A and B are shown apart, each in its own frame.
Chain A
Amino acid sequence: MPTLPHLIRKNYQNNPDKTAIILQQAGQDDLLLSYADLVSGSYRYARAYQREGLQPGEVVILILNHGADLVFSFWGAILYGAVPAIMPFLTEKLSPERYRADLAALLLVTRPAAIVTTPEFESEVRAALSPEGSVRTILLTNQLEAEAAPDFEHLSSLQRDPEEVVLLQHSSGTTGLQKGVALSHRAVLNQLAAYRQAIDLREDDIVVSWLPLYHDMGLIAGFLMPVLNENTLVLMSPFDWVRAPYKLFQAVSKYRGTLAWLPNFSYNFCAQKVRERDMDGVDLSSLRILTNCSEPVKWESHEAFYEKFKTYGLREEVLNCSYAMAENVFGVTQTPPGTLPKVDEIDREAYISQRVARQPMAGKTVLKMMSSGRAIPGTRIRILNPDGQDLPDRVIGEIALQSDCMLTGYYNRPDATEAALRDGWYLTGDYGYSLDGEIFVAGRKKDMIIVGGKNVYPQDLESLAYEVPGIHAGRAVAFGIEDEKAGTEEVVIVAEVDTDDPAERQAIADALRRHISQNSAIALRHVHLVGPKWIVKTSSGKTARSANRAKFLEEVKLT
């Protein structure tokens, strides 16, 4: 079995002049990188890793903004045989202290040998290092030597075993101990082979992506797959996209893009915020598959998106869905190409109270569930009850999966790996039901909030709330509420305070909002300050989030 470096060598040798990546950056000309450019830029990093004494198999953390250096340092690590892990860059609103603390915690678990960053960011990275740490070198983007012809003969990476870990993907969690999902060459290549089949990937497909590369959807669908499969990739910055969502459509039109992946909220975001004048001359008829993935998929979001963009040549059957996770490298299910996702109309009340997806009787409120598609080749799915027994169609249970592309484990976290696997099956913690082989995802991991495609643990936000003066430990509760207009969840924090004074309450609310934003990069949409004994606790004294959510909604009458 080949490994990732073998494939890069093949693409470089067979098709050196083909455009591998078109990098877009606001205010700059598009930068076209051929496979020859990609390999020579990456080879400079491979040589630098060697010069710095990195050993193949050691982890290198990449802390870089969107751009050529991020691309080159990643593939350089692959070419050298080091294990890359891309981390988010510090954004302007996140507090440097929190970023440093999170990075320091991550370094102690992952124990990388090197970190790549920019000269401007070096001091920030150094501040996170500890004396007992593993980092031997910080490589700066201006410390590379001149380009040299790649010498594949002497690349030790080509001798690596397909079972060895090729990369780490840090998925969910806002603070502290994020879990690094360790993936082998074999897992990545099996996933790509299966996913290629699931979307009927073609030689002339062109991928357009604005997704961050530290997230599985961006890393696999929007980076590894096109680059390894010789499909040109148009890559823009998430930072630019969120300020100008129309740029995705302009890029599709300009380069005749055929494939893109988007989290559910961005369907609403684009439908609501893209202006006609920014769509002048835009033609979306080249799009073959637009996959909705990484948060619960909503039929209403597809509807709004299609209504808005059909006049620009968007075909309805292009709107497909996928259920995916880093633990399976990426895709678990996918809508069969050329078809519309199945929509199942169910009884809303029975869904909420009895956890079944029953067809509604006349007069009952209907909930439109949209299918995430069918299992991709090589992946098997079961819906289990709490005792681990299989459930029939239309009964909601935990989604479990087994495949030939599963994670090797959570890196340096055997405890977390053991907790997630049962008899070779990965328990996703997501809830859903099956119907004639289609998978409908009904809910998220217990209490987890998914906001804008990002997973957030309410416990993390509550711990932050307790750090705000005026809020006592155990007297705040965080939860998500559905925002139908945005197609995602909004974060709410309810906190009990002692003061009745409006000005003092205002000051606490402001401080809470600021503290959450600076320490989690999550926008706190609703701050609700209440008097003592408001928060509902369970008999064992734990905070009951769903009961508090219901009480909040009743009190503020949000719909």
Chain B
Amino acid sequence: MARTIQHRLQDDFDWPLFLVICVLATLGVVNLYSATSAQTGARAELYIQQIYWLALGGGVAVIVAAVDYKTYERYAYGAYVGSIVALLAVFLLGKSIRGTHRWIQIGSFLFQPSEFVKLTLMLAVARYVQRDTRTSAWTLRDLVAPGALIGLPLALVMAQPDLGTALIVGLVAVSTLSLVRIDRRSLLTIVVGGSAGGGMLWFYGLKQYQKERLTSFLSDTVDVQGTGWQAHQSMVAIGSGRWLGQGFMQGTQNQQHFLPDTHSDFPFPVWAQEQGFVGAVVVLLLYLFLVLWGLRIASLAKDRFGAAIAVGVTALFFWHVVFNVGMATRSLPVVGVTLPFFSYGGSSVLAILIGVGLLMNVSMRRRAL
């Protein structure tokens, strides 16, 4: 066994994946340094915390990659149940910050279960897909079980409320599930039912500020001082970057505090203003490479579970990037989705790197020994 791991590490180690992650993580820390340099106190030190988390996450990823992913198939439901419990615990033990219940305090660390739910749900769906033996297309009835699987954590995250995370959790799970063939009529039913459900949610489920966030990006006359402030200042930052940017640590929008939440939701405009279009495109191409490489790993996976994991992790990256950059460029509503490696967050970094470990795991085991 020891010999095989060594063999895999030497011959099948996925260097492109490793390198793109390293580059993104490095750029992320560099940008975080600049983004928080305008802040004072603990916030200015966030980049150091981020390095610690990256180091910790890297170690965890190595372990995650080392263990054959077949093992995870066995524990997928267990992890799922565990994360549901954690989500419930948020409401009981959780720390309320700005009226939301997202965190559980462990020592000085605020643990955010919803970040991990993205992975555990994806694993659970992957296992469900793997164990499925049907040869015909799925009908609505077949979708009830996985629907419930997805719906439960989704509802809990939305109740926190954390719209952005719920969105990503849902999209990652659905992306993973999309590997199965679904009956056309059932699909149509889902689309219609989904639209109706969306409408219900809009009128009865969402709070006013959430609605405003969702629609403000659509209007031409942006209320600069109100809900559109973040997106507007983000546009100003990006737009004033031009080709080469204003230079590292020189972005006026960040330095003079016009951009809010540069360490969480809006690191991209900081990067775009300081590094210009060239820098922005480099980062977007790195993400594109990561996504395409992840899909390549999926298509080369030796089984459905591996492919589903690879698709799930890749979808995690993809949707994060699309929504984060989308809201920074006022192409999508501001829903509070982070940019992997650029946004600060202990739970988030850990979850992402565990995902990378899973991806590496699948990549290294695409060939049978």
The answer to whether A and B assemble together is no
Q: Which residues of B are interface residues toward A (Cβ below 8 A)? A: none
